[in-house]
Amino acid sequence: MEEKKKLWKHIKAWVDGEEVILDADKYIITRSKKVKKDWRRQFSVETIKGNTKLYGFLSVAISALFIGIMLSVVNDLPEFGNPSNPVDNEVMERYLESGIEETGAVNFVAGMILDYRAFDTFAEANVLFLAVMSVVLLLKKDKQNYSEKEERENREDDFFDENEKRPILKIGGKILAPLIILYGIYVVLNGHLSPGGGFSGGTIIGAGLILYASAYGQKKMQTFFTFRTFTLICVGGLLTYCACKSYSFFTGANHVGFEIPKGIPGNILSAGFILPLNICVGLIVACTMYGFYALFTKGDI
Amino acid sequence: MREAIAAVFIIMGLIVFLLSIFGIFRFKYVLNRIHAAALGDTLGLASIVVGLMILDMNFFAGAKLFLIILFFWMSGPIATHSIAKVEVLTNKSYEERVREK
């Protein structure tokens, strides 16, 4: 009877919006503290040292398992160098026969890396982006990692650069840097027609930028190439690449139905998405090259 | 006849390259090595390219090869100059080393 009353009271309180715990004292006693498992302690150096036998056995067993899986996969692969392998005839023939028709690029390599295997090239551009971002993370100067001594050295370098009496490097940079950058742009834009493409052209543009920066100094470079433009170009290039290729993958990975006009093979405006993709890759590579140079020398772009 | 003249030029360029590589490994100090390396970049490359121009005898190919010579004769000495400048500015015992070697 009493218990029922208690329960009723409890329900009433619960309806009213209060929180009532039945038998509060008992509850507190029986409530045990949750034991938190400390994973770091469980796998610390001491415990591993204590269980050397177990861990040694486990490491050998796991490596043996993976080696076995890999060897069994390799065993199933076709023999290396066999002339009847699919790699040696079907793929190559297909690329050479229907490459121009399917990609619209006269340069087969561009058609391969930016159309058949565009996803792979996207990952390569991502690798470059990640590399330059980790360098920015480590070497970009701010208040925490920048001592007064380094600042003084930097100022001395700037002083030497500004008070240079012999203008050999400056005149050379003035004549050569625009030509080098122009040639790089030509290589990028002509990537689907002649040997070259985004990676090589971007490297040439980056070399021109490095020459200009080493001749005229960081301050002159920052009038048109700051950290903001650097990040904008890198991220914009990657996102444009992603959008262009997502279109292809969403429409069935073979441009089925929604084909982009291929144009006449040999024209500069042809080959579907290869030209914009080349431009994206070239911009990313050029920014990466210059970013490495600037970050390693001055710690700022 | 044309091939013979071209061969003479190309062989001369190869000999100059050989001498410059020999000099790079023979000398011990930076400035001496720069002197040897710049020889191959200017004279050796120029004579090889002139030989190729004579061999091909095509105006546009010759013009492109001439652009290569122009580029190397501009960029090579400038690069050599800036390397030498950095060496002189940063190496404190430079005068002793020049006198020794």
Residues of chain A with C-beta less than 8 angstroms from the C-beta of B88 = none
Tell which of A76, A92, A121 closes a domain: A76
A92 in a domain, yes or no?
A: no
Tokens of A165: 């009496």
The rounded distance, in Å, linking the Cα atoms of A178 and A205 is 9
- CA of B80: which chain A residue's CA is closest? A169
Tell me the average pLDDT of chain A.
81
Q: What percent of chain A has pLDDT over 70?
A: 87
A4 in a domain, yes or no?
A: no
Residue A118 and residue A48 share a domain: no
A279 in a domain, yes or no?
A: yes
Residues of chain B with C-beta less than 8 angstroms from the C-beta of A179 = 71
Query: Domain map of chain B by residue range?
Result: 2-100
Residue A188 and residue A138 share a domain: yes
Residue A124 and residue A65 share a domain: no
Q: What is the tally of structural domains in chain A?
A: 2
Residues of chain A with C-beta less than 8 angstroms from the C-beta of B89 = 160
Domain limits at A56? 39-76
What are the CA-CA distances from residue A145 to residues A137, A138, A141, A155, A301 (Å)? 11, 9, 6, 17, 16
Across the interface, of B78, B85, B89, the residue whose CB is closest to A172 is B78
Residue A134 and residue A51 share a domain: no
Report if pTM > 0.95: no
Q: Is the pLDDT of residue A216 over 90?
A: no
pLDDT band at B100; cut points 50, 70, 90: low
A57 in a domain, yes or no?
A: yes
pLDDT for A265: 73
Contact predicate A262/A272, CB 8 Å:
yes
Residues of chain A with C-beta less than 8 angstroms from the C-beta of B74 = 172, 175-176
pLDDT for B41: 86
- Answer whether A172 touches B (CB < 8 Å): yes
Q: Report ipTM for this prediction.
A: 0.77
Average pLDDT over residues A167-173: 84
A93 in a domain, yes or no?
A: no
pLDDT for A254: 62
Residue A67 and residue A117 share a domain: no
Cβ distance A175 to B78 less than 8 Å, yes or no, reads: no
What are the CA-CA distances from residue B37 to residues A171, A212, B22, B29 (Å)? 23, 24, 9, 12
Residue A182 and residue A140 share a domain: yes
Across the interface, of B71, B78, B89, the residue whose CB is closest to A169 is B78
Tell which of A76, A99, A126 closes a domain: A76
- Answer whether A175 touches B (CB < 8 Å): yes
pLDDT for A63: 95
